[in-house]
């Protein structure tokens, strides 16, 4: 879940994918998230079956609470992502309003998954290491602690990549995501108006500069005549 979900997050942030079709990138993003969701469900089923066979209580630890929360919100995120951003039925205004929420919730779920993994490996060490115990820092404990630190570094790197403005897909490519087939790109009218206004301002500036130049020439000629 950590590796596949992180790949789904950064798939839009890779500069060499910006030339690819936005529809293709949407399918890749949705496909990776679907694979991660399937793996999460299989893992949940395996955990509950293992607990039931070994007569271990279910859902009593912080690890299980965080993990179940992550899976529930991830399933909601995936469903809304399909319904709003992949299927061509949602209005553009709804997509634009939900896009920041979709991005923020995805990053939050990823951070929750990292926290689930960290609490899970710590819990496993405490229960599994008996002689020597976890507190004695045997090689297994050192190895898994280093794995936890790598998970933290990896998660921080993914969040850093996802939050850098210069790693974002260019705006003109983003506009294609929100544009229904046959409709002009978002902001075209506004950009056209701004361009027209800018051109008008430039024209007025040129006229004013030309008038000032002519006025200066007249003053220079008058000065030369008075000198002569």
Q: Count of CB atoms within 10 A of residue 56's CB?
A: 12
Q: Count of CB atoms within 10 A of residue 223's CB?
A: 10
Hey, where are the domains in the chain?
A: 1-172
Residue 77, pLDDT score: 96
Please say if the pLDDT value at position 196 is more than 50.
Answer: no
26 Rama sector, left if φ>0, alpha if ψ -120 to 50, beta otherwise: alpha
Instruction: Read off the pTM.
Output: 0.71
- CATH fold for the domain made of 1-172: 1.20.120
Sequential DSSP letters for 144-190 = HHHHHHHHHHHHHHHHHHHH-GGGSPPHHHHHHHTPPTTSPPTTHHH
Note the pLDDT tens digit of each residue in 19-56. 888 889 999 999 999 999 999 999 999 999 999 999 99
Q: CA dist 70 to 42, 106, 170, Å?
A: 14, 10, 30
Which pair of tokens denotes residue 74?
Answer: 């991830």
């Amino acid at each position: 879940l950590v590796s596949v979900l992180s790949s789904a997050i950064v798939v839009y942030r890779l500069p060499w994918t910006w030339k690819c079709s936005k529809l293709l990138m949407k399918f890749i993003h949705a496909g990776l998230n679907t694979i991660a969701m399937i793996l999460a469900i299989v893992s949940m089923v395996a955990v509950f079956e293992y607990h039931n066979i070994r007569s271990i209580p279910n859902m009593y630890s912080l690890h299980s609470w965080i993990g179940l929360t992550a899976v529930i919100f991830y399933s909601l995120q995936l469903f809304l992502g399909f319904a709003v951003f992949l299927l061509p039925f949602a209005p553009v205004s709804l997509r634009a309003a939900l896009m920041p929420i979709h991005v923020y919730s995805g990053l939050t779920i990823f951070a929750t998954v990292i926290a689930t993994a960290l609490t899970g490996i710590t819990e496993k060490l405490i229960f599994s290491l008996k002689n020597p115990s976890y507190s004695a820092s045997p090689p297994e404990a050192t190895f898994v602690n280093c794995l936890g630190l790598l998970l933290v570094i990896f998660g921080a790197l993914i969040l850093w990549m996802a939050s850098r403005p210069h790693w974002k897909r260019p705006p003109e490519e983003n506009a294609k995501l929100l544009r229904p087939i046959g409709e002009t790109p978002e902001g075209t009218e506004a950009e056209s108006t701004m361009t027209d206004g800018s051109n008008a301002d430039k024209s007025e500036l040129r006229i004013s500069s030309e008038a000032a130049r002519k006025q200066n020439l007249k003053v220079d000629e008058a000065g030369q005549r008075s000198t002569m």
